Amino acid sequence: MSDQTKFLLSEHDLPKAWYNIQADLPFALPPVLHPGTKQPVTPDDLAPLFPMALIEQEVSKERYIEIPEPVREIYKLWRPTPLYRARRLEQALQTPAKIFYKYEGVSPAGSHKPNTAVAQAFYNKEAGTKRITTETGAGQWGSALAMACRMFGIELKVYMVRVSYDQKPYRRALMQTWGAHVVPSPSPDTNAGRAILARDPNHPGSLGIAISEAVEDAVTNPIPTKYALGSVLNHVLLHQTVIGLEAKRQFELAGVYPDVLIGAIGGGSNFAGFTFPFIGDKLKGNAPNLRVIAVEPAAAPSLTRGVYAYDYGDTSMMTPLLKMYTLGHNFVPAPIHAGGLRYHGMASSVCELYRHGIIEARAVQQLATFEAGVLFARTEGIVPAPEAAHAIRVAIDEAIRCREEGISRVIAFNLCGHGHFDMAAYERYLAGELQDYELPQAEIDRALAELPQVESA
Ligand SMILES: *Cc1c(COP(=O)(O)O)cnc(C)c1O
């Protein structure tokens, strides 16, 4: 342990099952409601969009769900991922803390997202799906799914938010390299897209519009088509737990158990994937002192400043209603350079753990986040995705606290992706062109005034 930098598992150690936290939660997750009837959705409501295996995972109470062998075979291309001890960062901070990070940037798409993309493509293949549609903003989800669909021989159509399509040509090219059909959204290919283009041919697009297009395409296309989502839903969080299950074994190799776990939250999937297996220990009373911190941008502070209410998952009010901490489905985030963290809501299980005081949440500003990302790159070498840098910021703050208190704690965070496609953001940071955003309360109030009316369930 004393001088080891990487804690590696062999392919034999790759987990055989995902961990389902719903088996251990001391409370039930609130039901997902139909956007029309406001009654709990049934599997049949969801069947046009998702294969039944995924719908079943959404509500399963089984503690462990087997990872199908074809999925494990593909995981082996980059998994198990390394757990690092951040010795050079510790030295730079002069901290007695031991800092660890699990690195998901070694996947072909450069983030944790292929963990669920591969699983979703597999279950779709099994169900006879020939074609999948999805939306993407900055392109992290679209590129992960493009790779996964290619591996299972499924066609993929990606509705990419128009501004990102124009401003992020390399992620678009990455998706196209894996064979996906990528169109800027709003597109002329759907009713939703045509209606918007008729009013404004230069509309910049939004995730909400792209979701509407992808969903409309999935339910109307004559080829058997389904829709796929890269975060927020229970089955997505489930697939990501392969991260934390590996990490637990790696901490055994390191001979320590973490005191503080940290992850950045957009929709909650990389955070959940990394921390839920440990939170399972805590829920069983085996890790009473473990602290778990979810980190969000101050520009999109759903846990720290949102309200707990039923809301739509998207701007176009097409999706089912989810009970969550939300900033309102019409919330328009400031243009911060962490595209993956600008979502208005949050995964239900993450919200419930926060509401019950089992996890903590913290919001951090953009400049402090990039400062942490640059320090990490200059000490550990890896240039983190701006999303991941949110977790690094809080890991550094916790390590500084250890120094001030003269206490050595084991601090670990999930390095959910590398920043190689985000260099334009780093360039602007280094040129002094980025700024902090303090979200005015009036903006939150305005978006919250438009929450759907739901009889209190
Ligand atoms: C998509 C993405 C996120 C945000 O999504 P979560 O579901 O909260 O993980 C964070 N980091 C990276 C690198 C991403 O690609």
The residue range of the domain holding 268 is 6-14+66-110+235-448
Distance (Å) from CA 455 to ligand 1 centroid: 32
Looking at the structure of the chain, the number of domains it has is 1
Distance (Å) from CA 416 to ligand 1 centroid: 7
Confidence of residue 455 (pLDDT cuts 50, 70, 90): confident
Tell whether 363 is covered by a domain: yes
Tell me the per-residue pLDDT of 32-65, one tens digit each, with 9 for 90 and over.
Answer: 999 999 999 999 999 999 999 999 999 999 999 9
Where do we find the tokens 């941008």?
297
Tell me the per-residue pLDDT of 252-297, one tens digit each, with 9 for 90 and over.
Answer: 999 999 999 999 999 999 999 999 999 999 999 999 999 999 999 9
- CA-to-CA dists, residue 196 to 158, 189, 192, 342, 435, angstroms: 18, 12, 7, 23, 32
Tell me the per-residue pLDDT of 430-453, one tens digit each, with 9 for 90 and over.
Answer: 999 999 998 899 989 988 999 998
Q: Per-residue pLDDT for 457 more than 80?
A: no
- Which pLDDT value is given to residue 63? 98
Is the distance from CB of 120 to CB of 54 less than 8 angstroms? yes
Best residue among 113, 120, 324, 422 to mutate for probing ligand 1, ranked by most atoms within 8 Å of CB: 113
CA 79 to chain centre: 18
Is the distance from CB of 186 to CB of 213 less than 8 angstroms? yes
Residues with CB under 6 A from ligand 1: 111, 113, 140-141, 231, 264-271, 340-341, 385, 387-388, 416-417
Give the predicted TM-score (pTM) of the model: 0.97
User: What is the average pLDDT across 222-228?
Assistant: 97
Distance (Å) from CA 338 to ligand 1 centroid: 9
Tell whether 227 is covered by a domain: no
- Which pLDDT value is given to residue 456? 59
Tell whether 344 is covered by a domain: yes
Tell whether 429 is covered by a domain: yes
Is the Cα torsion angle 421, 427, 433, 439 positive or negative in sign? positive
Whose C-alpha lies nearest to ligand 1, atom 5? 266
Tell whether 185 is covered by a domain: no
Tell whether 76 is covered by a domain: yes
Tell whether 415 is covered by a domain: yes
Distance (Å) from CA 136 to ligand 1 centroid: 12
Tell me the per-residue pLDDT of 126-150, one tens digit each, with 9 for 90 and over.
Answer: 999 999 999 998 899 999 999 999 9
DSSP per residue, 4-71: --EE---GGGS-SEEE-GGGT-SSPPPPPB-TTT-SBP-HHHHTTTS-HHHHHHHH---SEEEPPHHH
Q: Per-residue pLDDT for 2 more than 90?
A: no
Tell whether 132 is covered by a domain: no
Q: Within 10 Å of residue 177's Cβ, how many Cβ atoms?
A: 12
Best residue among 112, 346, 349 to mutate for probing ligand 1, ranked by most atoms within 8 Å of CB: 112
CATH number, domain containing residue 423 = 3.40.50.1100
Closest CA to 216 of 255, 181, 190: 190
For residues 417 and 259, give the distance between their C-alpha atoms in angstroms, rounded to a whole number.
Answer: 23
